[in-house]
Amino acid sequence: MRKILSLLLVVTVVALGACAHKPPKDTGQTAGSQVPAGALANGAGANGATGGAGAGTGEDVAGPQEGILAQRIIYFAFDSSDISGDGMALVTAHAHYLVSHPMMHVRLEGNTDERGSREYNIGLGERRAQAVRRAMLLQGVAETQLSTVSYGAERPQVDGHDDAAWAKNRRVVLNYVQ
Amino acid sequence: MNKVFSVRLWSRWCALLCCLAVLPGAALAQLKIDITSGVTDPVPIAIVPFASTGGADNGVDVAAIIQGDLEGSGRFRAMQRSAMTSTPSRAQDVQIAAWKSAGNDYVVVGRVSALGGGQIAVDFELLNALTGQQLANPRFVGSSAALRDAAHRCSDVIYEKILGVRGAFATRIAYVSVDGQPPAQRYQLIVADADGAGPRVILESHQPVMSPAWSPDGQWLAYVSFENKRSAIWVQQVTTGERRQVSARAGINGAPAWSPDARKLLLTLGGSGGNPNLYILDLGSQQLTRLTDGPSIDTEGAWAADGQSVYFTSDRSGGPQIYRQGIEPGARPRRVTFSGSYNARPRLSPDGTQMAIVTQDGSNYRIAVQDLASGTVRVLSHGRLDASPSFAPNGAMLIFSGIEGGHSILQRVSVDGLTSQRLRAESADVREPVWAPFTRPQG
């Protein structure tokens, strides 16, 4: 059984690899008469389908795993980009790690809950990511080690339409990238 | 299900469908319409099954499509076919008194005939059941594959003759469909007929796809895709799938909106500093012009009908409110919403007199329409998390998204608030509907 599974995995990886060139490049070339496949083969979705972690999902396994550094998510109150006490302890721990590991790079992924309008939420998510970025810069992290992206309400951590789900979705994910 | 595909479209899409077939679980989110509220006195009408000479209709029930359109509007009540004692297909064969005494105000009779060369004609007569007067007798000629479109155009004529408002049945919508659980969600951008029929996936990704916007000629969609792990704005021709990335600058690339002359895109750029501001991108010259400045979130731009000013969401006063600003250099924004603490995502009616917004109403987010001359605001939806309003091209209806039974669904409401419908997909969350502009007949 295990052999079959690993074979399947290999086949899947090969198949995904074969598709990986599909998304049109940033050159303004046209994709011709095809349904553009977007990023089907990239990262999160492909891995996530098996419940594993993937780049951009906020559960990336890259980066430090010791103690508090294994935690990668900073949660926020409703309509706020203020970092809480617990959140700041986590930001500080990662900032110290990044200062002592200047080759490491973190993508700060800002997210909101689903309420309100979508593009405005993109703005709110960016504000959260920038709040974490500023806190890290103040602690000596180099600008080149940080980048931000806002997913707004588009990539919830938890599916659901209540306070509990929303609290989990208002977050900044620290995503270590190689 | 949907037997009618334009042959030309079919050949174009065939390769894509094959491609999709190998994607795991690549199912289309076919929308189903339910009427959630209608007028208390719908217009009684009999739509007699259309005659078809020599199988010209290829099994498409034109009268049923018209009936679905008219009843779906919430303003008509159609006579049951089983109650019809005759099925005339021409005005001269209609015993008008019998239809009147059966309770109808109007009668529609028609036929589909083959013209050769793959062309067909749809003719119908709309009769006043009280007077017997013939109110319309149009003919639609097109390819046999475009019969469904012709049926919707029949509905448009009937709707306009009886209600005095141009129908918007022969139009399309685009929407985003999402299935799967986080973090393995699949995002699809779908184009379908306004009644949800004939859905076609035009983009599929495991990264978010959002903010679709129709070009003024209805041939292109602009949208935001995160397929390269960050936001970028693309424009894509709907029929061919040809597409082009037009903005992948640092930070946010969002909220595209075509100018009325289709030459420019209004968009939101965040830059590396993360302050979302409005810009105009000239699609020909690639020249970028900045409209707003400062630390507030300025986004969700929408053009005024004359293309000389824009409406947008800004939290410069604390919470989100709508502002209007001219596009000329040095223009200053003027606030236009004043009731409530959350007003976002403006969309202008086609005649430019009304603005649809998302407004916070207690703990609920709802769709409201503000009359721009008087400032009067009317809340039109009743959900908890309603979002993304978009006007029909006739200005009579809005389509938007809401949450029901734990799923995101599409809803339509008439601007007078009297009629509403729900459009659900069976196994996916559907959201961000955008109603396409009027276009010429297909085929």
* Residue B145 DSSP code: G
Q: Residue B241: which of A29, A35, A116 has the nearest Cβ?
A: A35
pLDDT of residue B16: 41
Comparing alpha-carbon positions, the chain A residue that sits nearest to B15 is A34
Structure tokens at B166: 């141009």
pLDDT of residue A14: 39
From chain B, pick out residues whose CB is under 8 angstroms from the CB of A42: 206-207, 227, 229
pLDDT at A81 over 50: yes
Q: What are phi and psi of B71, to 5 degrees?
A: -70, -35
Structure tokens at B275: 């302050």
Which residue intervals of chain A bear CATH 3.30.1330.60?
67-177
Please report, for chain B, the start and end positions of each structural domain, with discontinuous segments joined by +: 28-163, 172-435
User: B383 or A23: which carries more pLDDT confidence?
Assistant: B383
Q: How far is A72 from chain B (nearest CA, A)?
A: 15
Under an 8 A CB cutoff, do B231 and A150 touch?
yes
Quote the CA–CA distance of B207 and B209 in Å, as a whole number.
7
What mean pLDDT is reported for chain A? 77
Under an 8 A CB cutoff, do B268 and A124 touch?
no
Comparing alpha-carbon positions, the chain A residue that sits nearest to B208 is A154
Residue B262 — left, alpha, or beta (φ > 0 → left; ψ -120 to 50 → alpha)?
A: left
Comparing alpha-carbon positions, the chain B residue that sits nearest to A153 is B208
pLDDT at A17 over 60: no
pLDDT at A32 over 90: no
Strands (E) across A60-145 are located at 73-75, 105-111
Note down pLDDT in tens along chain B; length 443 residues: 343 333 344 444 433 433 333 343 445 667 988 888 999 999 999 999 999 988 888 899 999 999 999 998 999 999 999 999 999 999 999 999 999 999 999 999 999 999 988 899 999 999 999 999 999 999 999 998 899 999 999 999 999 999 999 999 999 999 999 999 888 899 999 999 999 999 999 999 999 999 999 999 999 999 999 999 999 999 999 999 999 999 999 999 999 999 999 999 999 999 988 999 999 999 999 999 999 999 999 999 999 999 999 999 999 999 999 999 999 999 999 999 999 999 999 999 999 999 999 999 999 999 999 999 999 999 999 999 999 999 999 999 999 999 999 999 999 999 999 999 999 998 899 999 999 999 876 55
From chain B, pick out residues whose CB is under 8 angstroms from the CB of A150: 231, 252, 270
Taking the CB of residue B362, how many other CB atoms lie within 10 A of it?
A: 8
Specify the CATH class of B172-435 in words: mainly beta
Q: Which of B9, B19, B229, B313 to mutate to test the interface with A (most CBs of A within 10 A)?
A: B229
Rg (CA), chain A: 18
- Is B185 part of the contact surface with chain A (CB cutoff 8 Å)? yes
Residue A152 — left, alpha, or beta (φ > 0 → left; ψ -120 to 50 → alpha)?
A: left
pLDDT of residue B29: 64
Under an 8 A CB cutoff, do B229 and A118 touch?
no
Quick one: pLDDT band at residue A78, thresholds 50, 70, 90? very high
Under an 8 A CB cutoff, do A56 and B297 touch?
no
Under an 8 A CB cutoff, do A122 and B20 touch?
no
Under an 8 A CB cutoff, do B385 and A39 touch?
no
User: B94 or A4: which carries more pLDDT confidence?
Assistant: B94
3-state secondary structure of B333: coil
Query: Once rounded to an integer, what is the mean pLDDT over residues A102-116?
Result: 97
Q: Are B295 and B273 in contact (CB under 8 A)?
A: no
The B residues from 209 to 248 touching A (CB cutoff 8 Å) are 209-211, 225-232, 236, 240-245, 248
Specify the CATH class of B28-163 in words: alpha beta
pLDDT of residue B18: 35
User: B144 or A55: which carries more pLDDT confidence?
Assistant: B144
Q: How far is B287 from chain A (nearest CA, A)?
A: 16
Quote the CA–CA distance of B290 and A122 in Å, as a whole number.
19
pTM for this entry: 0.86
Q: How far is A107 from chain B (nearest CA, A)?
A: 10
Count of residues in chain B = 443
Q: How far is CA B372 from CA B196, B234, B340, in A?
A: 31, 31, 16
Q: Are B96 and B66 in contact (CB under 8 A)?
A: no
Q: Residue B387: which of A118, A126, A160 has the nearest Cβ?
A: A118
* A25 contact partners, CB below 8 Å, separation of at least 6: none
Quote the CA–CA distance of B371 and B377 in Å, as a whole number.
6
Handedness of CA A151, A157, A158, A162 (dihedral sign): negative
pLDDT of residue A87: 96
pLDDT of residue B427: 84
Comparing alpha-carbon positions, the chain B residue that sits nearest to A175 is B229
Comparing alpha-carbon positions, the chain A residue that sits nearest to B22 is A15
Quote the CA–CA distance of B317 and B315 in Å, as a whole number.
5
Taking the CB of residue A141, how many other CB atoms lie within 10 A of it?
A: 22
- With a pLDDT cut of 70, the percent of chain A lying above it is 66
pLDDT of residue B374: 96
In the β-sheet with B232-237, what is the strand arrangement from edge to edge? B209-214, B220-225, B232-237, B243-247
From chain A, pick out residues whose CB is under 8 angstroms from the CB of B201: 35
Query: Once rounded to an integer, what is the mean pLDDT over residues A143-150?
Result: 97
What ipTM was estimated for this complex? 0.89
Specify the CATH class of A67-177 in words: alpha beta
Quote the CA–CA distance of B183 and B208 in Å, as a whole number.
11
